[in-house]
Amino acid sequence: MSVTPAAGGPIADLVPVRRALLTVFDKTGLVDLGRDLAARGVEILSTGGTAKALRDAGIPVVDVSDVTGFPEVFDGRVKTLHPKIHGGLLFRREVPAHVAGAEALGIGAIDLLVVNLYPFEKAAATPGAPEVDVIEMIDIGGPAMVRAASKNFASVTVVTSASDVPALLAELDARGGATSLAYRRDMAGRAFMRTAAYDAAIATWMNRDPFPARLTLTAERAEVLRYGENPHQHGALYRLPDTGEASVAHAKQHSGKELSYNNILDASAALDVARFLMYPCAVVIKHKNPCGAATHPTDLLDAFRRAHAGDPLSAFGGIVAFNRPVTEAVAEAMATADKFFEVVIAPGYEGRAIDILTSRTKWGKNVRILETHAAMEGREPVRGILDVRTVSGGLLVQDRDASIETEFKVVTRREPTKDEWRDLRFAWELCRHVTSNAICFAKDSTLIGCGAGQMSRVDSVMIAARKAGEKAKGAVMASDAFFPFADGILAAADAGVTAVVHPGGSIRDAEVIAACDARGLSLVTTGFRHFRH
């Protein structure tokens, strides 16, 4: 065995791989890698189960304990934390004193490190996992070696994912069994990103403060987008750790063009509405606001038809989300010549539903069909997930506006009817997803008019009333915040609204209640608001 390379000199571009250390939890592709390295004459060091897997495949392996002269101890907790391992990764080949020191101490150079870490993130995300089991998945030796090898990328190649092995083998083939400086630097950068994400996951799990003194966010790049919100902006989609909740970032795309930045924003908004509704529902989104929504106790097709009919003009080119699998009948109703959606997202597709959506004229090549990997049964969002927004020079962080049990209180002489109660609850649920000032008109569990993003609440009412038209007669209205004056409610009454739900709490509540009583309206308060800026 050659203990060290030539005694010092400038940093080399090409570094031959003569000695490698392989120690992996995920053994995908391990045997093929071992055989390839052995065929190249590379000496392979290894530990524990990795060494056994290689030996069982007939690949020659040197145990790390034979190199260090120290056995693996404490159930494998300590095996690679030794100068002959870390020295072999860290000493600088271009510094003569380092090379001489390695020779004197019998420390052999390690040119390649292949490590993937204990799956802590998976253990921490397992419901009901005992704390002791999660703690055992905190890797110590792996990250230490990865950081050592990455720091010394001038001479050492580090690979931290089984998915990067094919690229490693291609590099060795292209460089005659060596790796280039550019490749080593790139892999070191990836390795540091991996250890940073790993440590962040551990810190998050350890910390019980919902707003810790130092917030660390880690996400994996899923794809680079064609552009951002506008063509002159660059954009990319990053995935946060999977919580098991239905999401756009972790959804599977079955067909259609590449998702755009705006597609992803709108699809996420549609999914957020759909997940909150208890009954089978369809939700149509345009520019992050619902322009159509409906539920039915059992019939998803009926819900879709009513959701689309709520505002068919706005629905064209929008996003549609379902909280139940799309049936063939729903697919047939969607894929008609007079309708088109940029994105369809649902927890599943039954029978020939995908074939129907992808085979119709103008649909097949264009519509993006997404399937979430988790079911949506209404009011199921995972608690504790943070809502993070950027502001100039910082981040705004809050817990998200998840489902809250509302204590409805009738404050007028007239009680809502049974149908009005149903529609009031439906409209109130929708309001949390509409940009403030938010106004929703609903009738028969269907959104028939929406006013969003106006500086005046009365303007939002007028927009919703205009959208609803004649359907506003006998409808209900929900407002995300209180009416400071009676004018907005009176405008709704003029349009035909008969019942209203809002948070209440204005200094003029008595005036508003009196105006409702005078017009025979039923007014219900909730005690809290749903601003969405």
H or E element that contains 149: helix 141-151
H or E element that contains 205: helix 181-206
What are the start-end ranges of the H helices in 280-368?
A: 300-310, 312-315, 328-334, 353-359
Instruction: Return d(Cα 379, Cα 403) in angstroms, integer.
Output: 6
Count of beta carbons in the 10 Å neighbourhood of residue 372 = 23
Residue found by looking up tokens 């629905």 in the block: 315
Strand partners of residue 378: none
Given the residues 27, 250, 287, 373, select the one marked as catalytic: 287
The contacts of residue 56 (CB under 8 Å, 6+ apart) are none
254: annotated active-site residue: no
Residue 7 is which amino acid? Answer: A
Please give the full DSSP string across 230-282, using - where no structure is assigned: STTS--EEEEPPP-SS--STTPEEEESSPPPHHHHHHHHHHHHHHHH-SSSEE
287: annotated active-site residue: yes
Q: With the C-alpha atoms ordered 238, 241, 243, 244, is the resulting torsion angle positive or negative?
A: positive
The contacts of residue 209 (CB under 8 Å, 6+ apart) are none
Given the residues 27, 122, 151, 254, select the one marked as catalytic: 151
Phi, psi of 488 (to 5 degrees): -65, -40
- How is residue 187 written in tokens? 């892999």
The contacts of residue 76 (CB under 8 Å, 6+ apart) are 47, 48
Positions marked active-site: 151, 287
